[in-house]
Amino acid sequence: MQKTIYKKVGLASAIMTISIFLSRILGLFRETVIAYTAGAGKAVDAYQIAFLIPEVLNHILASGFLSITFIPIFAHYLSLNREDEGWKVFSIILTCFGSLMVLLILIAMIFTPELMAATGFKDPASRAHAVRMTRIIMPAQFFFFAGGLLMAVQYAKEKFFIPALASPIYNLGIIFGGIILSPWIGVEGFSWGVLAGAFIGNFVLQLIGAKRAGMTFYPRLDFKHPDLKKYILLTLPLMVGLTMTFSTEIFYRFFGSYLSEGAVSSLNYSFRVMFVLVALFGQAVGVAAYPFMARLVAENRLDEMNNLLNSTLRYISLVIPFSVLLMVLRHETILMIYQRGKFDAAATDLTSTVMVYILIGTVAFAAQTVVARGFYAMQNTIFPAVFGTLAVILSIPLYVIMMNRLGVIGLALALSVSAIFQVTLLYVLWNKKSKNRESKTVTLFFLKIILISAPLGVFLEKFRSLLAAGIDADTFFGSLAVSGITGMVFVVLFLTVGYVFRIKEIKAIADRVVRKFRRKPIF
């Protein structure tokens, strides 16, 4: 039975990995188009600030947590062969909370100028631009909310393909919106792309997927239904609580708005690169594993769930050496992805420097996607919400101090340090709650990977410097050559380390590569 679950998790992870990786690549391309169109100045800062109020609104109704809070409720009815009742609860939640979302959107659109005045964005023209784009983006939050529920029921029925299309299509919407409309209305075209992408990818397509999964929906207001109350109790802590990911997205925009022009843009461009690694090593696995974690908890197989969580975290630790590689190739990476059009060499220098400090926190963002889901699988949303809120509040002085002393670099470092602290403490508390007997092994494994990655980074930095002395790394093809050669050296060292130190996760990757090449004939 355990092998069957791991096989299903592996299949689901493969689907979600492809989806999220594709989405992140499209996200990078999206940012490249934005950088080409508007560079890293006031217009892009205004575009990023335009997401502040919609992000808060999205968080208030916990749209990003719908699969986490609704799956256990719906899965319970599936396990009892009472699927009709599950669809009834689905209809009640969508009707009640969907109506609330529409009301909040209308209120927020009316008072957008007053809400925007709370930011550090003081330039009247830029603030007016941000207000206009905020109002365009705002209605997309309804499609995210409804789509979150539609995807949740598909996940509960172990159907991952159509939900996997949501994010890539959303990014395509933004890209096409910007390409088609920016010649006439500038960066505002990307805002219309946000709305179109959310409507098609997160709503229309997911509606089709949910119907294929057997969805039955009819508008129903039933505030006395016990599962609506249960859903509210599970979701309320997430509505009022501050999570690590949410606070990061808000803080880099809010605090960045008080810094010099281009600060918000450079932080955003750096985060998009970092989140490619998070997608590959954390997000896809976390999303795919969660339904199975919820099932193991429901069946009171906590030891098996801990084994699944520990194995996943060991895999996630491999993001550390890859983060080090990107730190070494910081200049080349930013130049190849962004430096064209209005994104000049000065913007590359700033963004590449900022990215180093953002990459320090990569492993924390990747691990958080799994550790937090351990609590959610046990239908415990109160503790993570309270913990996250306290951690975020306590970290605010760190942001302020680091920002005032080191500017945008200090803010980037503060975001990473805060993330590492939060996820480490959350894992420690999870181990005590779940009596995870293998936690020390996981911790030692992480330390082992860090100790291996540090000298690897020093060697690669020196190697890259020698290489760049003979190759002009300030051109696209020069950067490509430096990155390619340095990357190949990294792969050889990475796989060698796996064999020498008997790291089974790395060794398994090496073995798959060897087997693949052995199958190919030489002639």
pLDDT of residue 200: 94
Residue 75 has what pLDDT? 75
3-state secondary structure 7-33: HHHHHHHHHHHHHHHHHHHHHHHHHHH
Q: If we measure between CA atoms, which residue out of 360, 395, 107, 348 comes closest to residue 246?
A: 395
488 — pLDDT class (breaks 50, 70, 90)? very high
Give the pLDDT score at 291: 67
Res 225 pLDDT > 90:
no
Q: Give start and end residues of each alpha helix (H) in 39-139.
A: 42-49, 52-60, 66-79, 83-110, 112-116, 124-137
Greater confidence (132 vs 44) lies with: 132
pLDDT value for 318 = 85
CA dist 65 and 62 (Å) reads 5
pLDDT at residue number 33: 84
Output the pLDDT for position 522.
Answer: 41
pLDDT of residue 68: 65
Give the distance from CA 294 to its chain's centroid: 21
Instruction: Please state whether the predicted TM-score (pTM) of the whole model is above 0.85.
Output: no
- pLDDT at residue 353 greater than cutoff 50: yes
DSSP per residue, 258-290:
TSSTTHHHHHHHHHHHHHHHHIIIIIHHHHHHH
Torsional class of 380: left (φ above 0), alpha (ψ -120 to 50), beta (otherwise)? beta
Q: Token pair for residue 102? A: 């529409």
Q: 443 vs 156, which has greater pLDDT? A: 443
pLDDT score, position 1? 44
Encode burial over 49-88: b for 16+ CB neighbours within 10 A, e otherwise.
bbbbbbbebbbbbbbbbbbbbbbbbbbbbbeeeebeebbb
Return the pLDDT at 464: 92
At residue 306's C-alpha, the angle toward residues 496 and 389, to 5°, is 100
Among 145, 101, 105, 121, which residue's Cα sits nearest to residue 45? Answer: 121
